[in-house]
Amino acid sequence: MQTLPTASSPDATATPSYGMEDWRSGYRSQPEEFAYWIDEVEGEIPVALTGTLFRNGPGLLDVQGQPVSHPFDGDGMISSIAFHQGRAYYCNRFVQTEGYVAEKAAGKPLYRGVFGTQKPGGFWANLFDLRLKNIANTHVIYWGKKLLALWEAAEPHRLDPETLETLGLDYLDGLLEPGDAFAAHPRIAPGQPDQGLEPRLVNFSVKTGLSSTITIHEFATSGSCVKSYHRSIPGFAFMHDFAITPNYAVFFQNPVGFNPFPFLLGLKGAGECVQFNPKATTKIILIPRHSDEPIQSIEAPAGFVFHHANAFEQDGQVFVDSIVYDSFPTLDEGMTFEAVDFDKVPAGQLWRFELDLTAETAEATCLIARSCEFPALHPQQVGQPYRYLYIGAAHAPTGNAPLQALLKHDLATGEEQLWSEAPRGFMGEPVFVPRPGSSAEDDGWLLCLTYNAARQCSDLIILAAQDITAGPIARLQLKHHVPYGLHGSFTPNYFGPEFAVAGEPA
Ligand code: CO
């Protein structure tokens, strides 16, 4: 069994493709809320692009003036960009979580953050304060006529898709109890019209301790839950994401433990108490979606995975493509995220795990050695064999660095295309939108919210996925910045303002 992964060593003589001040400036709080037609557009927005892109991420990097220790602790802010007839409308709103509203009213931090942000008052104020603040900052999806802001350790918040107004916590028609978790990484199994299969949204939650219970929910397009099932596995589990195939839900049980004492004592956030054990193995857990057959647990080399690109079944084997770090990315004691030395934290790389379900073995191959994160693909290929992967990547082929480029990887030939926003641009997660009526897997657009340090503002870039080296076919310049975000999704429903006359905004 090989060691995972081989970190590519940086070229010490190379000039960095970015400036630290530029990178840091994308992590300024954005307290303002906007709503406007985007008038500054270079190139042309495709007229056939109709629908709404929703994005989530920390809008504030401080709580009432006190900086957060980690961006993952920042209050969730939703952005929407609605496309119609070659025009685009931008809107952003904070999710009015209980914590956000209470802290705003109090004018001071009232909660501890999962990633280490402490309340003022030191040891005694944080001791045994185990309340989690549901910050709703990780993902946003439109499903079953509901727009939901997701954060993995608590209930979703429902928002109005047109105004982004917060409607409240959503218990999914009684499926969830108050305080229940609902992961931030649902997968949508595409419909197979020829087999009479409708699309399904599949999501999970994990209850962990000495053993862990994974609960999986599957939802019809109406939003109603069609089935829920759960399985238990031994040991602690930190699972941010999963993957699906037609027959399995696939989870990686990373080789990490949890030392609760610094958290209970108020010295650290829960996320800081996760400890990586390089001597242990990763366990790949396959849970059958349609039967009570036993789960399979297959050992793979140690590595840490937040995100999976995709999984599929072929010739009786299961393939899983995942972004692997050689350890759990943590910061040194007392260090703020803004002072991070990219050369000293692990870089993500794309690895393929080929699972032999009979022999219960896993073979791992590195597909993309360049530092990369935030994978995307054609929605119809989710859980299916696929050819094209799109992913945020470092500008340089070796070493660790912020994401500045977009990479298209052809899994059939290994060919790659790169579009880089370096030196002053920084890349966010791409979202692939198929061109209506298209049949080729890469016939569509990539929508990426980038940060442009030269303008100190964000740009939404649209690239034709068949040739990303040609650069954006449209660059929409926002009037402000959106702090580096996490995840987002696209719906073909247009949620911008009504058009009074065809082609003319009201
Ligand atoms: Co994620």
Distance of CA 242 from the midpoint of ligand 1 (Å): 10
Rounded to the nearest angstrom, the distance between the alpha carbon of 193 and the centre of ligand 1 is 30
User: What pLDDT does 12 receive?
Assistant: 56
How far apart are the CA of 281 and the centre of ligand 1, in A? 22
Q: How far is the CA of 44 from the centre of ligand 1 (A)?
A: 31
Which residues on adjacent β-strands are paired with residue 143? 146
Domain assignment of residue 240, yes or no = yes
Total domains present in the chain: 1
Distance 236 CA to ligand 1 centre (A): 19
Which residues share a beta bridge with 211?
234
The rounded Å distance from CA 151 to ligand 1 centre is 10
pLDDT value for 330 = 67
End-to-end CA distance of the chain: 63
Q: Report if residue 184 sits inside a domain.
A: yes
Sign of the alpha-carbon torsion through 491, 497, 499, 503:
negative
Q: Is residue 372 in some structural domain? A: yes
**64's torsion region: left (phi>0), alpha (psi -120 to 50) or beta?**
left
Q: pTM for the complete prediction?
A: 0.94
Q: Is residue 39 part of a domain?
A: yes
* Buried/exposed code over 473-490 (b: 16+ C-beta within 10 A; e: otherwise): bbbbebeebbbbbbbbbb
CA-closest candidate to residue 289, choices 241, 239, 227: 227
Tokens of 229: 């099932």
pLDDT tens for the 506 residues of the chain, in order: 345 554 455 555 678 999 999 999 999 999 999 999 999 999 999 999 999 999 999 999 999 999 998 888 899 999 999 999 999 999 999 999 999 999 999 999 998 777 777 766 665 555 555 567 899 999 999 999 999 999 998 999 999 999 999 999 999 999 999 989 999 999 999 988 888 889 999 999 999 888 999 999 999 999 999 999 999 999 989 899 999 999 999 999 998 887 766 766 666 777 777 788 888 899 999 999 999 999 999 999 989 999 999 999 999 999 999 999 988 776 565 567 777 888 888 899 999 999 999 999 999 999 999 999 999 999 999 999 999 999 999 999 999 999 999 999 999 999 999 999 999 999 999 999 999 999 999 999 999 999 999 999 999 999 999 999 999 999 999 999 999 999 999 999 999 998 765 555 55
Residue 496 within a domain: no
CATH number of the domain at 299, please: 2.130.10
Q: How far is the CA of 15 from the centre of ligand 1 (A)?
A: 30
User: Exposed (0-12), middle (13-18) or buried (19+): which is 442, by Cβ within 10 Å?
Assistant: buried
DSSP string, 158-224: EE-TTT--EEEE--TTTTSPTT----S--EEEPPBGGGTBPPEEEEEEEEESSEEEEEEEEE-TTS-
- The CA 74 to ligand 1 mean position distance, Å, reads 15
Ligand 1 center from residue 488 Cα (angstroms)? 10
Residue 71 CA to ligand 1 center (angstroms) comes to: 13
**Residue 341: per-residue pLDDT:** 85
The verdict on residue 209 lying in a domain is yes
Spatial distance between the Cα atoms of 320 and 280, rounded to a whole number of angstroms: 20
Whole-number Å distance, alpha carbon 254 to ligand 1 midpoint, is 15
Is residue 13 assigned to a domain? no
224 is in which domain, residue-wise? 20-491
Residue 502: C-alpha distances to residues 47, 273, 505 (Å): 13, 56, 8
CA 139 to ligand 1 center in whole angstroms: 8
Residue 11 lies in a domain: no
Instruction: Give residue 147 CA to ligand 1 midpoint distance, Å.
Output: 18
